[in-house]
A and B are shown apart, each in its own frame.
Chain A
Amino acid sequence: MRNKSYVIAIKSEKENEVQQDWVDQIRDFSGVEIQGATSDQVTVLANEDSIKRLAGELGDDFLIEEGIMRN
């Protein structure tokens, strides 16, 4: 399966409820490579299977979507 870029962001209304080590949780997740991170969101490279497993792990407090180009 091909790796794609995804953005993982804390939902704005949940920003005070998410555990502070969530970026480390992603860093340790197999099949997911962090490209860039802030305290609000991370950009990762992953395949569809890995990102689905990660979404299940992180739960509903996060938005996960593919990187979308803008001009």
Chain B
Amino acid sequence: MAKSTFQPDEIVLQKEEYSYGFIIEVLTSGLYPNKYHVLREYIQNSYDAIKTWRKQTGNPKYGKIQIKIANPSITIYDDGVGMDWEKINQYRYVGYSEKKTGEGVGFRGIGKLSGISVADKLIITTSPAGVGKRYQLVFNADAMLAHIMLLKLKGENISLNDLIKTHTSLSQFEEDPDIHYTMVELYNIKSDSMLLMDEAQVIDYLGMTVPVDFDPNFQYGQIIDEWLRKYVSDYDTVQISLDGKSIYKPYIPELNYPQKNFVYAYDDDDTQASNSGAGEPLAFYWYCEHATKGQFLDKKKRGMFYRVKNFTVGTNQLPRISLWNTTPERAYYFWGEIHICDPEMIPSSDRENFEQNNARERFYQYGAQISKTLNTLAGGSSAKRKAKEFIERAEELILTIQNEAQEGKIPTEIKFSKMYNIKNAVVSVENRLKDAPKDYQERGEKIIESGNALIENLEKESFPSDASKLVYDIREEINLGGEASKVYEIIIQCIDEELRDNPNLFERLIKKIHTALSGHSQFRKSI
């Protein structure tokens, strides 16, 4: 195996000459409070490498990223374009990136070293297509950080240039010129970063964050993917697997058919701007409403998510905070994405938000259209759902009372309470009928009719069709007369007064007393 190791002096690092080594500590430890973001940084680089290769070869489906989590390391491999000698050298420049804003996903030249904050060593092996070389760069992060700590204790400093020279090595080997790839190993994950070794958690995080395909089991995945490819120019996906398991964007089972829309730099009622065709959209968004009721329960998997180049920015809290001024709970009635199309909307370094600039302010202003649309939809759905519920409840109540009445099982003492309940149900249905779907409107009208008829009949105490009584008087039934009847009336009156606020209990109690009295042989006549 031909190998040549380059001495640090041969490597041009003058760009860091006037930086100090402590910057490494600040950039790596301080930048990523969420350790998972470190993985996202490397996936971004892999994705950009694959996208470059796709562009060069004209093969839009090419490429995959393989991740392996095996104690003590995490390894990320891509079959993208690879890095040539110059680029692998530049890899060591903190803050150096050839990518222009908007060109790739990463562009600041910081994230590539983020592995230093979670692992003892960062090993990068890469081979550019057509070169026949393999380059291997090793960052001895543990030694580098220990060196910095020691200097801090002594009150000394070191230039970034010297620090990197001391603790990195770059070698090259022979390689098949047809092969191109990059592999990054985060070697010996630190004890405070062991959560990165949890395969299930990492799959969960990546599925929510990186540009993978929709889960093939998601029934609307294909249509949404088609929309995104049509309307979002930088939307794309890549195959990513972790220990052989394919990673997909997750989905929620109970979803209504998806809807889509754009955000433009004018409000819906700004007809002049609208008619003049106010330029490119700021964003494209799609959403699915909860198919049944209210908010989704999984706090992480609900609401809307911002995406830039199909990478998530922030969590589901960010659109909720930035776009919802009223009823923010309604954001969680939905599942969807807001794909930013405005190239001036730039994710912040930690990708928890966007850089504060005019583009962001503009988007947050006009993006409020999203919350308006979704709130209106949620409000409408909620009213529709409530109307259906009221109609169903009224149907059940009126049918029960109808049956009781037909069997003559309504005690006279609770007749008015029953009539009151029916009236309430009828009024509720009347009030919500306009919100109900068509089939329910018909049912609602029927139940209003039945309810009113029942009230009328109870008032008359007979059905026109048959002469049987709808209510019965226990005193007549058991032949209770004179003093006993008076006592009964007093007792019932007292109970009524006490349980006026609890008609259900009152009804139960009355029925129980009636059963007891009628079961008593000396009173029994018929019931």
A binds B: no
Show the binding face of B for A, using Cβ within 8 Å: none
